[in-house]
Amino acid sequence: MDNFGVYMSSRTSVLIDEKLLQTVLEGARRLYPKEMILILRGEKKKGFVKISELVVPPLATYGSNFANIPLHMLPMDFSIVGTVHSHPSGNLTPSTADLNRGFGIILMIVGFPFEDERNVAVYKRDGEKLALHVTKA
């Protein structure tokens, strides 16, 4: 983790475009009842993280209670801000495994029924919840 994580507070906001969020939710719906996982690219500034792109991780595995990325297959990419994965159960709380296996500075979880921002939560790597703001392009 870079030094930005030190400056993140519970007042830090995560920004994502509405269409990008709908793409995440649609991916989760399509893989349901399996979990899905994607990499989040964006920019980090003091006070906010703006998600600008989604990356399908190479050789990711998807199962009924897990989604996994082989981290050794990822390229060096300093624009990666975190990951998003689904919880088919609808529970938006990160598990210990979620927090321990996170990549980047944020962890986004989308939960069943995968409809809108009410089914999304974003956390710092230590499990502290962050505010999510959905923007329109």
What pTM was estimated for this model as a whole? Answer: 0.89
- Identify the band that residue 26 occupies on the pLDDT scale cut at 50, 70 and 90: very high
Q: What does the domain layout of the chain look like in residue ranges? A: 4-66+77-135
Residue 79 is predicted with a pLDDT of 96
SS3 24: helix
Number of neighbours of residue 47 by Cβ within 10 angstroms: 11
Domain 4-66+77-135: CATH architecture, name and number where available:
3-Layer(aba) Sandwich (3.40)
Residues in the chain: 137
Residue 3 is predicted with a pLDDT of 43
